[in-house]
Amino acid sequence: DNPDDAAVVQPPVGKLLVHTVDYLRSLVKDPFIFGQIAANHCLNDLWAMGATPHNALAIATIPYGKPKQVEESLYQLLAGITKTLQQHQIPLIGGHSSEGSELSLGLACNGFVEPAKLLRKSGMEPGQVLILTKALGTGTLFAAAMRHQAKGRWLEEAVSSMLISNQQAAQLFQAQGATACTDVSGFGLVGHLVEMVQASQVSIELNLEAIPILTGAINTINMGITSSLQPQNLLAAHYLHTTENLSSLSEYQLLFDPQTSGGLLATVPPANVETCLHLLQEKGYQHSCVIGKVQGSLRDDQMIHLM
């Protein structure tokens, strides 16, 4: 509320300050819905690291238009952002807006975490189980929507998934002894798994059949419709040890599908998996499931064994 040039924050004693920033183009025409999706997307990095968000700054681009149209779009966008932030008691402490060719939004988010509770990508341990909290497919579905090839009910399910916060999933993973975590976003599932596996120096078994997929995503893949990021993400395929039978499946392509407001991917001790999944389902993560297992030490470039 003060008219100062910048926000000032006093970090709590004994805690680490965690910073993240993300920026994305709108997938939907409704700025209110987009504001909520973007806020969830940008907060995912903090949830994945075990941090408690403290504040956020926004930067928005509003499509050119008459002054009242621009003002209304900005109002709806900010209403969407603040709705999501307020659900987590996170203040929006500032921002900047401009006009441009399309609606886009970025958030710089900060949070705090106790050093002992910090989750990193490098914490995978042999014998642990991989759990994913959300289904894949937002990239191909919204690429199809741009071509008017996606059914409304497919997009409705995808939007509902993107509006789900990963806060409670992060808290459950902490309580169930997770030692490594990340969020699945622009690099796709395999891209983010490669980061975790390389950092942890382990190999993993990945069960293709177990991976949850949003309704309609197989249909749009079969139409040959993929995100513009898909070709770059497919470069990570050389880290996979697989067979021609598996790599020819439509489900295989979705391993590289970039996600917006995707799920958390964490490794949990096997003794806690059943309880963890039960609690995740109770909290509304209907697609949460076990998708693989951490194996022994990393021995070669083909670190992900697709089953």
In the predicted structure, residue 192 carries a pLDDT above the cut 80: yes
pLDDT value for 46:
97
* Token output for 69: 């149209």
**What angle separates helix 152-162 from helix 138-146, to the nearest 10 degrees?**
130
Strands 16-25 and 92-100: what pairing?
Answer: unpaired
Closest to 38 measured CA to CA, from 22, 51, 49: 22
Q: What per-residue confidence (pLDDT) applies to 162?
A: 98
Q: What is the CA radius of gyration of the chain?
A: 20
Query: What is the overall mean pLDDT for the chain?
Result: 94
Measured CA to CA, the distance from residue 37 to residue 260 in angstroms comes to 8
Query: Hey, is 302 helix, strand or coil?
Result: coil
pLDDT over 80 at 183, yes or no: yes
Overall size of the chain counted in residues = 307
Domains and CATH numbers, the chain: 16-116 (3.30.1330.10), 119-306 (3.90.650.10)
Task: Look up the pTM and report it.
Answer: 0.93
Q: How confident is the model at residue 95 (pLDDT cuts 50, 70, 90)?
A: very high
- In 3D, which of 291, 288, 106 has the Cα closest to residue 196? 291
Q: What is the pLDDT of residues 108-131, one digit of tens each?
A: 999 999 999 999 999 999 999 999
Q: Does residue 223 register a pLDDT over 70?
A: yes
> Distance of CA 76 to CAs 31, 35, 109, 162, Å?
6, 8, 20, 18
Q: What is the mean pLDDT of residues 166-174?
A: 97
Pairwise CA distance, residues 260 & 161, whole Å = 10
Going by C-alpha positions, the residue among 206, 213, 176 that lies closest to residue 192 is: 206
Q: Per residue in 8-39, pLDDT tens?
A: 877 888 899 999 999 999 999 999 999 999 99
Tell whether the model's pLDDT for residue 80 goes beyond 90. Answer: yes
In this prediction, residue 127 carries a pLDDT of 95
Adjacent-strand bridge partners of 120? 180
Identify the band that residue 68 occupies on the pLDDT scale cut at 50, 70 and 90: very high
How high is the pLDDT of residue 2? 64
Taking 90 as the threshold, does the pLDDT of residue 300 lie above it?
Answer: no
| Residue 3, pLDDT above cutoff 80 | no
pLDDT at 202: 94
Per-residue pLDDT averaged across 140-146, rounded? 97
> Are the beta carbons of 187 and 296 closer than 8 angstroms?
no
Q: Indicate whether 90 pLDDT > 70.
A: yes
Span 37-55, pLDDT tens digits: 999 999 999 999 999 999 9
pLDDT at 9: 77
